[in-house]
Structure 1
Amino acid sequence: MTLASAFELPNVGAGPDPLSLTELAETNEFVLLLLQRDFHCGNCRKQVQVFGDWYDEFRDRNTEIVSIVPEPRDRIQSWQAEYDLPYPLCADPEATVGGDYDQPVRFGPLGKFSDLLGRMPKAVLLDCRGDEPDIVYTHEGSSTWDRPELQEVFDAIDEQR
């Protein structure tokens, strides 16, 4: 198992602001990180809404969802205003968490310069039942559309339980 990198980020969604992984790990068996591409990504917007619609299923599995967008706080506040997500929505303008969790970036230096061109989505499931959160599942997107199906994520959680 790989230990998860701790973080603390501004949160415009449900839960404390700022939001820290350490605090989440104390109150949840699992944490699902949804590392988004950017503010403009239509597939990211769809994903946060779908996972929001199924939030109760995640809570039944003692799992908290955290969506992390590599944008400034003021920009992603409009997502929360529009979608009223029941889980944390965090701003990571420097894409620090994406870097710590090896979020894929295509097109070399050009991709690093522009998240719109290079950053791919990633989902990371953390098992928080031990002393430190461990990474137990990842889904690395190879395109803007490549995201895990809900059942795939539920199966990953259920396998760990």
Structure 2
Amino acid sequence: MSGASDRHPDIHWPSGFSPDQAHSFCQAQAVVDAPPELAFSLLTDVPRWPEWVPGLTEVRAGPLARSFEVWFHGHRFEMFPGEHVPYARVGWSGVGAGVQLYQAWLLTAVAGGTHVVTENVVRGPAAKSLAVLSPLSAQRLSSLWVTQLERLSGPGRQDDGAQPEC
């Protein structure tokens, strides 16, 4: 399991969400066979998340401008866009189900595609409990996001808007 010492030095954290302040922190990374523009496009196409993000079943526009709501394993989270630097970095914060979270993504062009790093900071009573009951669950979730991103952006990807098979 990753710890705060494993954090990527180029990830930017909003106040109160550094890995050192987390009840749960995890990181996943991979090189995906696609340019940063495609990886960024997939990550920021929020309405399509339920098609490929494991456990996420619904997305709706939120009650506040630019906010959105997601249902993850039956729990509602209100999400707020954070950092947004096209083709390089993106992040969002969320509140719900006894947690506050921030998920950050860093995209770097490399030979053969894009090096993708995602890190998650989660705080709150539910995060504390989950860290005790299932210490690897957050790491598995981050790895699943990256695995799905690799699948969608790799050879044979569906650029025509067709729904991927999940």
TM-score, normalised to structure 2's length? Answer: 0.36
Structure with bigger helix share is: 1
Whichever of the two has the greater Rg, that structure is: 2
